[in-house]
Chain A
Amino acid sequence: MNKEQYVRQVTRHLNASRLEQKRIQQDLLSDIDVAIEAGESWDEVLKRWGPAQEMAQELSENMDLPSKKSHKGLIIGILSGVVGVIVIGVVLTHLLAPQQISLKDSQHFDEEVVYQQAQRVIESMNNADFDAIYDLSNAKMQEALSTAELKENWESLHAGSFQEISRYYSAEIDSRLQGDYAVCEVLVTYSNQPVTFTISFDTDMKLAGFYMK
């Protein structure tokens, strides 16, 4: 992880105003540069500072920042354009509407690779490894993703422990506006309740959309 990514992750975990986030980002980036100027390597700074979430927690506690609200049963839509494109396609004309293609016939996606990547995403959620979700995401998704919010909303579902993947469906969405995506709908049974994940991947197999209910 480079310093910009680290600092971005720190501020994503903070429930702070944009102005406060900007101030913190500037100061942390400056401190990294100063430490490197003083002879430390970026790895040494990273080791001294600890994980981004810890830094964010320390900042939050010392700045008396409120914790992010959790909404029980709230449906989370963190998309990087896929669902928006689909909605626009339906409302506009048939010509602009995304075409749905079976992955077996896809020229851009391998059905098995998509399934394995979807499994990886679900395993990360099962392990509460939200940083892994961030790492699996494409750049647009990373900008929109708040791991702190993802964590709170996942925990608010109280799904329980993973039991099995009960149903899996995938297809390629060929959008004239924004390109091709592999979309998976996965019904996962947990000890307390089932959760349906809608997971989208771009042609680089990076997470481009994530939705759960």
Chain B
Amino acid sequence: MRKTLEQVIEAFRMDEQFKDQIEHVRVIPATAGDYAPLPADLHPKLRSALEKRGVVSLYSHQREAYQFARSKQSFTAITPTASGKSLCYHLPVLQTILENPSARALYLFPTKALAQDQKSSVNALIDEIGEPILSYTYDGDTAPGIRSKIRKAGHIVMTNPDMLHSGILPHHTKWVSLFENLQYIVIDELHTYKGVFGSHVAHVLRRLQRICAFYGSHPTFICTSATIKNPKQLAENLTNTTHQLIQKSGAPTGKKTFLFYNPPIVYPTFGIRRNAILEVKEIAKHLYESKIQTIVFAKSRVRVEMLVTYLKSLTAKRINDESIQGYRGGYLPSERRAIEKGLREGTIQTVVSTNALELGVDIGQLQACIMTGYPGNIASAWQQAGRAGRRQEDALVVYVGQSTALDQYIMNHPSYLLKKSPEEARIFPENMLILLDHLKCAAFELPFKTDDFYAEFDVEDFLDFFVEESILIKTSDTWHWMAESFPAHEISLRSASQENVVIIDQSVPTKTRVIGEMDRYSAMTLLHDEAIYLHQGTQFQVEKLDWEEKKAYVTEVDVDYFTDANLAVELKVISEDKERQFDGFVVDYGDVMTLATATVFKKIRFGTHDNIGSGPIHLPPEELHTSSTWLSFEFPDGWKEEELSSAMTGVAYAMNSFIPLYIQSDRSDVHVVPQVKAIHNGQPTFFVYDRYPGGIGLSERVYDLWEPLLERVYEHVEACPCQNGCPACIGAQDAGETGKEHVKQFLEKVLKRG
């Protein structure tokens, strides 16, 4: 019998099986919509096309967007899932093209799947308008036969940053129609352009603007983003333009109930909880039987498959029952439309997906969402949670925590998830290596004249450097490209160093293919022989890392453990650029040189975190010159070196877990290293450095955040229910029974926290 969601939630909370694990319940009340009339100047065909779809008025944010766009004001809109974000750009773009058929727009999406979806949806709208407006995707999959047409006549060109970087900008003379008439550049999912990738894209956009100026156009930027702390700052850094910010969504929302569900502790000494996936199974089953349309997010394909298999066993007796669907990345638009349809018609009941689905791709809305663990940042968490809730109906989100520090932190601080995001997305276009790489591309694209700037950068010295390198030659007032190479091919947008390790999947011997790249530094600890490497939710094992050739050969596997490698790091301070004090401590920011040697790796079982094996790593040490912040203090009285070392290791582990709370970064972007006796001053020191040559701006931010970071560590260790330390707080320690005590004492007495 079909119950209302309200009833199901009540029943769930009372259920013997579940009720003790529900640590918190939070309800976000429904909100009314904030509406605005359709703009008066709207082209009649556009107006009637909208009306045919039932759009008779706009949400306030859509109207604001239209106004900004039409008055040529660049802006960024925060657009939660299901808030009609695409009209924020389609509307002003289509209106402009209808008024002036030679106008053009460029849409940037981070993935092809998103681009394809948006192309389908805008083409549907264009069909209803009934005017000849041409909209195409232009990427690696575009058939050669229509490329010429798109270049000459495409009103809306949809592409991704990689294609723009190496397929369009270096061939800009073939795109004269586009660049001469470019009115709008749409950047969707702005928050994905962070870290190294975002820094690269910031340059691609600067090169784009330079080329537009050459052809005489000055396009307006339209950006949409999920919730981050600093959307305006990110947008302005990314595009080198001033933005207005649209913060509030006018879309109405239904009541959302959040259940924070913590699996029971099964090993109290170690603080280990029951495997989250087992809990998720039960909850999903319960919702299925209550006939609530649910989406379940799991972290890897293996887990997705496990859940789908388990849930399908519930329907085994019914023939042709499609009610349980697994979703992985790489589905065609037609397959996604089929899922959407199934959900609408009620034939699909439960969708189980990896995090691949979270990136804005539309499959319709569901009633409930189960999150297996914290997806690592708030924007992703909200994109997952945002899948639950059809306009103005009730929704349920169940967050199931795993045994990691971050997950447990969220479990204990529900307001972190529910309030405005404190996570910043940072980019660092000033990174020297990245800047030089793109300056080369810019010089290839259009010669620089003396007194020319490259965006906000003064680059004469760099251009002269390129002359010495026989890449450019200088005539009286101009630097010309004079080399055989094609610089865009020498850069990977997702890495800061050249000479990346290429990852080759040889699971099928006759069909080996490159699945990704990784910078050398990270490769040492993530791609060593026998490492388990997770790629878009699929597990691979590294069969061989050919360091000479910079190739890692991997095969798909299905195992129940992960690997963790130790890095022995020697650190040397090269320069101090900033210094400040707090509570008697000195913190600095500057350049460091690290020499890292990967030594051994451990195999650690999921869930229990047992150490089930280990092995040596045979790789030469890697040097890394980067930015770092560090905190030094006097060697405390009464402490033995061993004790101090172990306590500092625990604190470093915890710090590493919490940095992502403040800055959107992966654990591998920043590295925390404790040293009992630092080389530069002989004192115990915590180093936090960027894992990319030249620095990427993250440690610079941490320089300002030492106090809250240490507070957070203390609170968390204090509150952790384990006895002697666990992966959820200070890491699985070998220090026996006193490890956690020492850390607490260290934090209280030496670092004066609490």
The answer to whether A and B interact is no
Interface residues of chain A, those whose CB is within 8 Å of chain B, are none
Interface residues of chain B, those whose CB is within 8 Å of chain A, are none
